[in-house]
Chain A
Amino acid sequence: MALLDMKDVRGGYGDADILHGVSMTVGEREIVVIVGPNGAGKSTAMKSVFGLLAIRGGHIVFDGEDITAWAPDRIVQRGICYVPQVDNVFREMTVHENFEMGAFLRRGDLSAAYDRVYGLFPDLKAKRKNLAGDLSGGQRQMVAMGRALMLDPKLLLLDEPTAGLSPKYMEQIFQITRDVRDAGVSILLVEQHAKQALAFCDRGYVLATGANRHEGTGQALLADREVAEMFLGG
């Protein structure tokens, strides 16, 4: 059974629906990417998992439990962490303090969790006392992911982690995403860079106007002519 199972989810932020029936699954240790044109509801679909919008239809089942319309803080405790696209670090706090805030809900010994994030992001070890706001865009993205990993989630939601980053950092973030997956975390991410993202993910969903359009493995979607015309300039 899939770790996350979304079925025919409808809803939006206000009264108008943005999602008109989105279904997707994320399996254990799987990287799933959501791509689609602007305004397709990619980020919205991901936020619906995290309880950030009003859901008016469908179900979201996580790890065998129906979490539809749960509040975000409850979802966090259940094992899903979310990394927003912008403003995703505490700029005036140090790298280490950012990780500490990520583990705010966790009591007891955190040394294993620190070892894990510093192991995943060795660059940050030397910068642990620097303010997160002073780091480069790529490193800030690592801090944001590290913060979310401190709670030891089963599923990590990443909202456009490579937005605004140089190609070099984009590769690095994708590599880190794979490392995180290899550490046993499933990942659902939204990507603007469709071609690169489909090439690196396990499976992908193409959304358009708030509904599923295509799905399949990354390679299959890349090979699909209609998908190619949609994004890759034919």
Chain B
Amino acid sequence: MSFLEFLNFHLVPGIVLGSVYAVGAIGITLVFGILRFAHFAHGDMATLGAFIALALVTAGLTPWAALPVAMAAVAVVAIVVDKLFYDYLKARPKIMTVMASLGVALMLRAVVQVVFGVDPRTYATGIVRPDDYFGILLRDRELYTLAAVVLIVVGLTLFLRHSRWGKAMRAMSDNPDLARLSGVDNRKVTMLTWAIVGALCAASGFMLGINNELQSMMGWQVLLPMFAAAILGGVGRVEGAVLGGLIVGVAEEMSIFILPAQYKAATAFVLLLLILLVRPRGLLNGKVL
């Protein structure tokens, strides 16, 4: 196998898949770090976002124009879900919120299945030929996906580093008691976190859908690789989630060298077990919860 073949058939798809995982993993790591629980409805929120974008595409928008609208819509959904379910449980042991999020996952999926059916769908039909960039073959949608992920990661990093409320989110993740003593309003930070997490969910669902197809189980199926990416990078670390996402994505695409293709999904699981055994705080030293 030539180097270019390796690049085009394994590395590039791995990076595209990995950057989609990264967007999902950032959301998971934010919920983990700031709200301190494992959010099992993350994948199905992504599915919902993907299908909201599909509805907008059916209504006449182009897919990439539908993305920001879907992100805004799922941001609202995430805030409402928090107010309806998680907020009631915040004084209880966190495991109850985790279980509630599993229930929310089933609910969201059921809504998608009732409204859109269970058959696979696509944003656009027809075969798209990749363009040749100095030997590297990339489809427009892959190029746009990478660009969108870079935009999201850079934007979020700048927000967390430099804005007043971004710093409040980091403070809450770092030391919640001290953040409260400093006068940071817990409820506002929670709401803001859900808005960002919801938008990230929608973006990851949309990118999964546009690079493959949409189906009602798609979000649930990527929940494990996304959690693996978040934990691999270090819980609470945005840059860790990006790194973890890329590693998991590339590893999945590489796994076919040693595993039959149908076991590709096991790669994330193996990576998760390995990191928990060897370096449970993740590559970039995340939190221990």
Contact = CB atoms under 8 A, between A and B. Distances in A.
Contacts of A151: 183
B177 A101 contact: no
A105 interface: yes
Contacts of A72: 180-181
B182 A91 contact: no
Interface stretch (A7-15, A82-90, A160-168): A82-90
Nearest to A132: B174
* Interface majority SS (helix, strand, loop, mixed), chain B: helix
B168 A104 contact: yes
A147 B170 CA distance: 16
Given A101-B184, A105-B183, A84 B177 contact: yes
Contact of A89 (B167, B170, B178): B178
A84 B182 CA distance: 12
B258 to A, nearest CB: 37
A141 B35 CA distance: 27
Contact of A97 (B167, B173, B178, B181): B167
Given A73-B183, A76-B183, A77-B183, A84 B178 contact: yes
A63 interface: no
A100 interface: yes
Interface string B145-181: 0000000000000000000100110110111011111
Interface string A104-123: 11000000000000000000
A73, A76, A88 pick with most chain B CB within 10 angstroms: A73
Given A84-B178, A87-B178, A88-B178, A93 B171 contact: yes
Nearest to B164: A104
Contact of A90 (B164, B174, B183): B174
B186 to A, nearest CB: 10
Contact of B180 (A73, A77, A87, A93): A73
Contact of A92 (B174, B179, B182): B174
A101 B180 contact: no
B184 A87 contact: no
Nearest to A92: B174
B181 A93 contact: no
A81 B171 CA distance: 17
Nearest to B183: A105
Contacts of B184: 101, 104
A102 interface: yes
Contacts of B181: 72, 76, 82, 84
A44 B141 CA distance: 61
A147 B182 CA distance: 8
Contact of A100 (B167, B173, B175, B183): B167
Contact of B170 (A82, A88, A92): A92
Interface string A136-155: 00000000000100010000
A76 B178 CA distance: 12
A109 to B, nearest CB: 15
Nearest to A102: B182
A87 B177 contact: yes
Given A97-B167, A101-B167, A104-B168, A91 B180 contact: no
A91 B175 contact: yes
B183 A87 contact: no
Given A97-B167, A100-B167, A104-B168, A90 B180 contact: no
A173 to B, nearest CB: 19
B164, B179, B181 pick with most chain A CB within 10 angstroms: B181
A72, A87, A104 pick with most chain B CB within 10 angstroms: A104
A94 to B, nearest CB: 10
A78 to B, nearest CB: 12
B167, B171, B182 pick with most chain A CB within 10 angstroms: B182
B168 A93 contact: no
Nearest to A100: B167
Contacts of B171: 90, 93, 101, 104
Interface in B130-148: none
Interface string A66-80: 000000110011000
Given A101-B171, A101-B179, A104-B164, 10 more contacts: A76-B182, A82-B181, A84-B177, A87-B175, A87-B178, A88-B178, A90-B170, A92-B173, A93-B170, A93-B174
29 contacts: A72-B180, A72-B181, A76-B182, A77-B183, A87-B175, A87-B177, A87-B178, A88-B178, A89-B175, A89-B178, A90-B170, A90-B178, A90-B179, A91-B174, A93-B167, A93-B174, A97-B167, A101-B168, A101-B178, A101-B179, A101-B184, A104-B168, A104-B171, A104-B182, A104-B183, A105-B182, A105-B183, A147-B182, A151-B183
